Amino acid sequence: MLQYKVVAAFLNDAESTAKKNEIVQIIAELIKKMDKKEIKKGIYLLKGRTDADYKTEPLGIAESLVIKTLSLLSGETESEVEAQYHKTGDLGTVAEFLCKKKRQNVLFSETLTIDKVYSNFKQISTSSGKNSQNLKIKYLLDLLSSAEPLEAKYIVRTVIGKLRLGMADMILINAIAKAFIENSEEYHYVERGYNLTMDIGYVSEVLASEGINGLKKIEPEPGIPIRVMLAERAETIEEIVTHIKLPAVVEYKYDGLRLQMHLSNGNVYLYSRGGDIVTEQYPEIVEAVKKEFKTIKNMIVDGELVPVDAKTGKLMPFQQISRRRGRKYDILETSENIPVQYFVFDILYYNDQSYIDKPFAERRKVVLDLFDNMNDKLKHVNGIIASSIEEIYTFFENAVNDNCEGVMVKSISDGSVYDAGARGWLWIKYKKDYTAGLSDTVDLVIVGAFFGHGKRSNLYGAFLLACYNKENGTFETACKVGTGFNDEDLMKFTELMNKYLINYKDEHVISKIETDVWFLPEVVIEVTGAEITVSPNHTCGSSDSSGSGFAIRFPRYTGRLREDKRAVDATTTEEIVKMYGKQ
Ligand code: ATP
């Protein structure tokens, strides 16, 4: 069993460099030291979680509880601990300092292992009910009483959800590959495993115990969400056909919610774009699937959930669905008032067989067969095989007339696999709002805010937004937006964002702009703008802090809060740079 102090020492080393390759190397060395029985837990600890992404939320207990625990540990008052926190801006450093100061009672001190830390974290994350706060304090205090100063620093940072590495999946994926795989040409199998299971802990365990061959055998499995395939964007249909050879499939691009449906021995599971389980929110879809597919053993399909007008049957704007999200109580009532239809566009698994590596033409045929003339809840997408630019354009006009956002053009070439987790040129989106300004809306993370003026002075009036730098796991600012919010929005956002308020700039946020307040990077909103410009004030795409970055000019909030996207699903730096290049 690896001692936690080794983990802490490596994390500390990794923190001393900003170079991604060095961090990967350090973490790879750490992973090599882990026993294959504990590697899964070790990886979860590095991610700041206690289980797979789709099964748990990241750790993140209230800072006030940690302050209480540190006060109990050190004998200092809570206000003294809080004062130190204000001074340093990092509770981890405060914990380290207090541990150094406290008199160590060697007799009662237990050596912390990965196993012990993991098991207490699990207790902390699962304690619920009336006594939960006391229990959380108890399990944290239990760890901190035995912790050496550096261990305390990383235990606290992990438990409040502020572990620097907790963000960047790519760092862990690369480190795991480096730790176990000799031939770098086979590194991509680690990412593939993660894309098919959303569980990097499991992937590392398979690799540690069964080697690369075990990893290659990972296939989709009903009941385990798969990372969704994403589309590139193009500004003209002419541009699309430079990437996708005609004939190609053109489908309506519905304005709804991405939904992955799994059927396994009569059980139905629905997953959101990010892998969250949302089965309970759409009971009518579950019932419809159970009824229609009684004889089918298992399948996984991908599609879009779209609200329809109960009277006219017409497709409705997406916002209607968001009214149903998170409403546990009135689900049955709302399912009558805001009916939804599930438009299936792909199949990933069917009757014990994976379909992800089959060409799209073949997968599409199965979707059309299975979902033909089904019922008013389950449908296949509206699509054609187009052989010319004119056909694509006519179909696009029909889509817009039918309240869709535009079209998706999809390759049917031999290599047109379902590329889980990837954004590539096998699918290209073409939207109606391309004509005005930016070639696409972008989804950015709110990292800070500025107070309003006059009667809005107690509300936030503008927000600092950032894109996600996937390589570094950082959030780089791309604009300040105050347009597009009405009074009601500003009230809603002030209340919402106060949940993520922190009194310092999160270390993942790279900003040259000073805001009135900072937030944890959690909330994603959709923004449009006139164009992308080079700006000395923003850090998007500027690798060093002195250089200029890219920014959205005349940004405007579109009214869409992207509840289905986590911060790491926001538009990436790479995408913005690419959009700039195309202008
Ligand atoms: P992305 O999903 O590409 O990150 P986004 O969430 O902002 O971006 P869009 O840019 O609107 O979404 O386009 C992709 C989304 O379109 C898909 O994730 C899916 O939810 C939706 N969609 C609607 N119709 C289709 C279709 N026929 N095929 C694939 N996706 C579709």
Structure tokens at 229: 């395939």
Query: Residue 385: beta bridge partners?
Result: 249
Q: Tokens 């740079």 appear where?
A: 577
Domain residue ranges of the chain, discontinuous segments joined by + = 4-166, 230-434, 442-582
Q: How far is CA 76 from CA 64, 96, 218, 551, in A?
A: 15, 14, 51, 46
**Ligand 1 pocket, mutate which of 408, 430, 558 (most atoms under 8 A from CB):** 408
Q: Whose CA is nearest to atom 16 of ligand 1?
A: 253
- Nearest C-alpha neighbor of 528 from the set 447, 465, 458, 460: 465
Q: Which residues approach ligand 1 with their CB closer than 6 A?
A: 230-231, 251-254, 258, 304, 345, 381, 408, 429, 443
What is the Cα–Cα distance from 583 to 578, expressed in whole angstroms? 9
DSSP H or E run through 547: none
The 3-state DSSP class for residue 312 equals: coil
CATH topology assigned to domain 4-166? DNA ligase i, domain 1 (1.10.3260)
- Close Cβ partners of 500 (under 8 Å, ≥ 6 residues apart): 446, 519, 520, 522, 523
Structure tokens at 365: 């045929």
Amino acid (1-letter code) at residue 156: V
Q: Whose CA is nearest to atom 5 of ligand 1?
A: 443
Q: Whose CA is nearest to atom 25 of ligand 1?
A: 253
Positions marked catalytic: 253
What is the Cα–Cα distance from 19 to 543, expressed in whole angstroms? 11
- Å from CA of 373 to ligand 1 middle: 24
- Å from CA of 230 to ligand 1 middle: 7
Q: What is the CA radius of gyration of the chain?
A: 25
What is the Cα–Cα distance from 566 to 562, expressed in whole angstroms? 8
Q: Whose CA is nearest to atom 24 of ligand 1?
A: 253
What count of other Cβ atoms lies within 10 Å of the Cβ of residue 113? 19
- Å from CA of 99 to ligand 1 middle: 49
450 in the Ramachandran plot: left (φ > 0), alpha (ψ -120 to 50) or beta? beta
Question: Whole-model pTM?
Answer: 0.83
What is the Cα–Cα distance from 344 to 336, expressed in whole angstroms? 21
Low-confidence ranges of the chain (pLDDT < 50): 106, 327-329, 332, 435
Query: CB of 520 within 8 A of CB of 453?
Result: no
Give residue 472's pLDDT. Answer: 83
Identify whether 339 is preceded by a cis peptide bond (ω within 30 of 0): no
Structure tokens at 422: 């990837």
What is the Cα–Cα distance from 136 to 66, expressed in whole angstroms? 9
Question: Can you say how many angstroms the Cα of residue 488 is from the centroid of all Cα atoms in its chain?
Answer: 27
**Atom nearest to 231 CA in ligand 1:** 3
Q: Tokens 């009941």 appear where?
A: 223
DSSP secondary structure letters along 168-201: -HHHHHHHHHHHH-SSGGGTHHHHHHHHHHS-HH
Domain 230-434 matching CATH 3.10.180.10: the answer reads no
Give residue 106's pLDDT. Answer: 47
CATH topology assigned to domain 442-582? OB fold (Dihydrolipoamide Acetyltransferase, E2P) (2.40.50)
What is the Cα–Cα distance from 240 to 402, expressed in whole angstroms? 22
- Å from CA of 372 to ligand 1 middle: 22
Query: What does the pLDDT look like over 129-175, one tens digit per residue?
Result: 889 999 999 999 999 999 999 999 999 999 998 886 555 788 899 99
